Structure 1
Amino acid sequence: MRNNLILFVLTIFVFSSCSDHTNQKTGESNALITKWRGVIKNDHQKEVPFYFTIQGEGKEQIWTLINGEERMEMDQPYYEGDSLHVPLLIYEAELVVKENDTTVTGEFVRNGAYRLPFEAIKGNAQRFSKNQKAASNISGTYAVKLGKTDAIGLFNQHENYLTGTFLTSTGDYRYLEGKIADNKLFLSSFDGMHILLFEADIDGDKLVNGKMWSGKSANKEWNGVADKEAKLPDANKLTFLKKGYDKFAFSFKNQKGETISLTDKRYKGKVVVVQIMGSWCPNCLDESKFFSPLYDRKKEEGLEVIGLSFERSSDPEKAYKRINSLKKRLDINYEVVYAGTTKQAASALPMLNHIMSFPTSIIVDRKGEVQLIHTGFNGPSTGHYYEDYVSETTSLINNLLKEPN
């Protein structure tokens, strides 16, 4: 690592020149941080652009994905032969690349699923190389149809720079970033799991001729209209106990072979939040970032949290490896048990009418009665929707904690 004064000044200059609304702390290290524009090409030959930074060199590199305000630091890279492998968080995915001074080329690999071409160039290149000035400003709330799915579009535009997200009944599309060029919208995101690209024409207060591409090959049409009163079905009423059930119950073994259930001494007489989740799920990661510190603050008052993790692997050893990685990354101190595969979720919890979303959270009071079942999760990218959820959920839990044991 070079630490001479000239390179240190250069480091400051290079990173501060990463404009386009990036802002990231460098911590205590003086290692050079460079900005890159990456592209993953899907089966439709559509290029999905995104930004990332690389700090340091060789196997000490730190890769950080950039989408709007979000910064997501990847896991520690490693070399295998002449290729650098960059694990993408706790997901079963990685970038496998070959490097030189100004370019990186290789593949995005969803382990056991598919591979897509990936390349990147060093520098402050535009996310979307569209040079027309914005002819419209679409900042605001929109009622949207994503294919057949009802959604809410939230957009924030400054000149031609655009950020936004979409809310649905099963969760949000996290942080999207792009631009308005003339009367066209462009947004994209790569968060280690999702590969998303949105395009649309702007026609007054309408978004028309929209196209969305996700993952390897999925695509759908979409459209929207400005509507500050746009709403979705009540997320607290979509999932409920079936007729004939008056309790929520389960019994699963943890990694130590101990049976975990709500009737255990640890949970009896406590307020318990049960997360129906998966380590593969970015919205679950966002939800865990909320529940983890809440648990640490409130456990002495009688709050418990249990994660029921439905994984894509039927091998408990592999599943717990991923679950433990999630717990370590987010500093989760409550129990998270492997509850089966995603396909087994409905049969594992037969008292629920359905499980339409990962995550789904269930809040049980000190008497063991269900007080709330919330489907999906609107994360920090959704602004006041996230803030409202955090406020309302925290208030409910505080009130339940005040009830006598």
Structure 2
Amino acid sequence: MITQVFKSHWHAILFGLLALLASCSAPQSKVAEGNWRGVFSENGREIPFNFSISYSGSTPILTYRNANDQFVTDLATSSGDTVVFPVDVYDARLITIKSGNKLVGYWSRNSDSERKLKFEAHPDENYRFWIPDQISSGSYDPSDKWDVILVNSDSSKTQAVAEFHNESDRIFGTILTTTGDYRFLEGQISGENLKLSSFSGGAASLLDLQFVAEDSLVGTFGGVYNSRKFYAKRNENAKLPDAYALTYLKEGYETLDFSFPDLDGKPVTLKDKKYQDKVKIVTIMGTWCPNCMDESAFLGPWYEQNKDRGVEVIALSFEQEDDLEFAKARFEKFSKRFGVTYDVLFAGKANKKSASEKLPALSEVLSFPTTIFIDREGKVRKIHTGFTGPATGIHYEVFKEEFNAIVDQLIAES
């Protein structure tokens, strides 16, 4: 153990010295502005992603692009030909090294720097999988809703709905499940092969499908290190179970009770004076969770616009470490990114079973996030499992309408 620690510190010192020498001996080589195409390669799998480089003064800014979504990284740091683009909300970074006119390097999480996902990127490339003039014509258009079965590693099955649409020979889409969506997917179709991918600084994902008939798709969906079998049938009426019926109060319960510390360590309960005679929205979430990020991006500005109406939002944060200081550090970055000014409580380590035990009034915690609507008297009125974010299009708009209608009704009640 002592040897391991020594090696780790020695490597860190050596890297720092090399970086310092590089910055002193070599001028920084500017990365080309404009569109780039990168490809992660590992285990015989390739996942492409697109990004753009711009500059604020001499500081490069990297923006990941997926379908109609853009995600800007945090402040980059440079040393010679090496530029580090961090994404603090994912606790991750993309380390790029300029090699001729291309970039090489790797992606890793700060908490697991031993696992490095290698990539190579080229400028002035704006396609995803195939150069447009090399695409083979096919017989089918995937634009539609699809009933999906995902086969997990333990052979269990997950019901989902995929939705695709074609925009100028680019395929945009997402996959919706009962616990949330897989956000913005972008890709192309060549012949009978449909491929989409997604990367915005966190985990990279690849959907690799084949048409076996006009109304049937088969293939895989997953990341670099794992994937699940994917079976889909075209169905314009495809839909998931009601998100308001999946999580419910156990028999005999009307209220939700808990006591968790805020980020300064002070115990907080719903019985506190601050929440009396107010409508309360409790969200079970974590800073590591992409769907929770989407929900927070909605709730942050929504709360600022509605907090004077007699409503409070309380986030119960379940994190990757059961440590208050860790949670506080993570939420400082998270709040800055998504404009979170409502109350945040640290509820413990991210685990659905543990979350269910800590909130015994609930049937179970099926998803991060889960959103609970509580009236002025403290009674639970609605529970929404998962989150349908901006990638789901009309479903996101419907969710916002339902959310506002529920809150408006609860506020209006005397």
Q: Following the alignment from structure 2 to structure 1, what is the Cα–Cα distance between the partners of residues 344 and 138? A: 47
User: Following superposition of structure 1 onto structure 2, how do residues 297-336 of structure 1 map, counting pairs within 5 Å?
Assistant: 297-336=305-344
- Find the counterpart in structure 1 of residue 380 from structure 2: 370
Is residue 400 from structure 1 mapped to residue 410 from structure 2 by the alignment?
A: yes
Task: Tell me if the contact between 1:206 and 1:223 (Cα under 8 Å) persists in the aligned partners.
Answer: no
When the two structures are superposed, what TM-score results if normalisation uses the length of structure 2?
Answer: 0.85
2:158 is aligned with 1:154: no
Letter in 2 for 1:210: G
User: Does the 8 Å CA contact 2:258/2:359 hold for their aligned counterparts?
Assistant: yes
Residue in structure 2 matching 1:140, options 117, 138, 144 = 144
CA contact (8 A) 2:185 2:197 kept: yes
How far apart are residue 303 of structure 1 and its match? 1.0
> Which digits, 9 at most, give the CA deviation of each residue in 1:86-107, with x for residues without a partner?
1124112111221246211111
1:64: which partner in 2? 63
Structure 1 pair 69–80 and aligned structure 2 pair: CA distance change class (3 A): same
CA distance in 2, matches of 1:80, 1:207: 50
Q: Separation in 1 of the partners of 2:172 and 2:291?
A: 18
One-letter identity of the residue aligned with 1:274: V
Deviations 1:208-252 (A, max 9, x none): 3311232x4111111111111112111111111222322111111
Judged with a 3 Å threshold, the aligned counterparts in structure 2 of structure 1 residues 131 and 205 are, in CA distance, closer, same or farther, namely closer
Distance 1:308 1:36 in 2: 38
By percentage of residues, which structure has more helix? 2
Q: 1:187 to 1:78 in 2, by over 3 A?
A: same
Query: Corresponding residue for 2:230?
Result: 222
* Higher mean C-alpha deviation, range 83-92 or range 63-72: 83-92
Tell me the equivalent position of 1:15: none
Counterpart in the other structure of 1:9: none
What whole-Å deviation, never above 9, does each CA across 1:80-135 have from its counterpart, x for those lacking one? 68642211241121112212462111111023342211221111242112521343
Deviations 1:288-327 (A, max 9, x none): 1111222111111101101111110222112111111111
Supply the distance in 2 between the matched residues of 1:332 and 1:125 (Cα, whole angstroms). Answer: 34
Aligned to 1:95: 94
Match for 1:240: what amino acid?
Answer: Y
Between the aligned partners of 1:67 and 1:40, the Cα distance in structure 2 is 15
Task: Give, as a single letter, the amino acid of the residue that structure 2 aligns with 1:346.
Answer: S
**Residue 90 of structure 1 aligns to a residue in which SS?**
helix
In 1, Cα distance between equivalents of 2:32 and 2:109 = 29
Q: Confirm or deny: 8 A CA contact 2:35 2:126 kept in the other structure.
A: no
**Contact residue 78 and residue 85 of structure 1 kept, 8 A:** yes
Two-structure CA RMSD over aligned residues (Å): 1.9
Q: Trace 1:165-176 onto structure 2 (pairs within 5 A).
A: 165-176=174-185
**Partner Cα separation in structure 2 for residue 155 and residue 76 of structure 1:** 34
CA displacement 1:8-27 (0-9 Å, x = unmatched): xxxxxxxxxxxxxxxxxxxx
- Partner in structure 1 of residue 393 of structure 2: 383
Alignment partners' CA distance in 2, 1:333 and 1:133: 51
1:150 partner amino acid = Q
Report whether the alignment pairs 1:259 with 2:267: yes
In structure 2, the CA distance between the partners of 1:398 and 1:62, relative to structure 1 (3 Å rule), is same
Map 1:5-404 to 2 at 5 A: 33-43=33-43, 45-56=44-55, 60-79=59-78, 83-100=82-99, 102-113=101-112, 114-129=115-130, 131-147=135-151, 148-158=157-167, 160-214=169-223, 216-343=224-351, 344-404=354-414
* Cross-structure match for 1:17: none
Specify the code of the residue in structure 1 equivalent to 2:53: I
Aligned-partner Cα distance in 2 for 1:207–1:180: 15
Q: Distance in 2 between matches of 1:194 and 1:116?
A: 10
* Structure 2: distance between partners of 1:240 and 1:328: 32
CA distance 1:347–1:42, change in 2 (3 Å)? farther
State whether residues 135 and 181 of structure 1, in contact with CA within 8 Å, keep that contact through their aligned partners in structure 2: no
| Native 8 Å contact 1:42 1:116 kept in 2 | yes
Equivalent AA in structure 2 for residue 212 of structure 1: F
5+ residue gaps, structure 2, are 1-30, 152-156
For structure 1, the 5+ residue unaligned runs are 1-30
Shift of 1:37: 0.3
Is 350-359 or 303-312 further displaced after alignment? 350-359
Residues 251-285 of structure 1: CA deviation (Å, up to 9, x unaligned): 11112232211111111111111110111111101
**Contact kept in structure 2, 1:362 and 1:370, CA below 8 Å:** yes
CA 268–80 in structure 1, closer or farther in 2 if over 3 Å, else same: farther
Shifted more, 124-133 versus 175-184: the winner is 124-133
Q: For residue 25 of structure 2, what is the aligned residue in structure 1?
A: none
What secondary structure is seen at the aligned counterpart in 1 of 2:378? coil
**Matched AA of 2:136:** Q
Rounded to whole Å, the distance in 2 between the matches of 1:252 and 1:59 is 44
Match of 1:5 in 2: none
Percent identity reads: 38
Q: Distance in 2 between matches of 1:261 and 1:134?
A: 59
Closer, same or farther: CA 401–125 of 1 in aligned 2, 3 Å: closer
CA deviation after TM superposition for structure 1 residue 75, in Å: 0.8
